[in-house]
Structure formats: structure tokens, C-alpha cells
Amino acid sequence: MNIVDIIGFAAAAMAAVIFLPQVIMTVRTKDTKGLSLSSFILISLSNSLWLTYGLLSSDTAIILSQVFLFPMGLTILIYKIKYG
């Protein structure tokens, strides 16, 4: 594993937990007033595209980050739609 791979996996690990505090708070409180619906629609779309790209290009770092980010973004989006 070279330095580029190490940086890629470090970035993927950080990206994988980026929404975790927001997901936890949103699920616990169901409070989404301060969250932008359009932002989370775009985030979810972006994450799905990144996951697709990672799978098609066999980029493990991107796949690993998006396997966590995509469902977290969708969770927040669903809560935003459901609880406004």
C-alpha cells in the first residue's frame, strides 16, 4: 500500500463518519427544522452517483465511504420528508 492509498482510505474513513452525529441527533429527536430538504436530496443523489462510480471503477476507498454515507444521507432525507 502506497501513500496515495493510505490518504484515500483515511479520507474514506473520515467521510464515512461525517454525517454520523447528525443522523444520531435526527433519529433521536426527529427534529429536522434546521435541515435543508434540497441539500439532502442533492447529497443523497451525489452519494448514489459516487457509489456507482466507485463500483464501476473498482475504487475501494470510494466504495467504502459511500457504503456508509449513502444510507446516512438517505436516513436524514427520509426523516426530513417524514417529520418536516
- For the chain, the domain total comes to 1
- pTM (2 decimals)? 0.86
Would you write out the chain's pLDDT as a tens digit for each of its 84 residues? 899 989 988 998 888 788 899 999 999 999 999 999 999 999 999 999 999 999 999 999 899 899 999 999 999 999 999 998
Count of CA atoms in the C-beta half-sphere (13 A) of 84: 0
CATH number of the domain encompassing residue 62: 1.20.1280.290
Of 73, 82, 83, the residue nearest 22 (C-alpha): 73
- Domain containing 65 equals 3-83
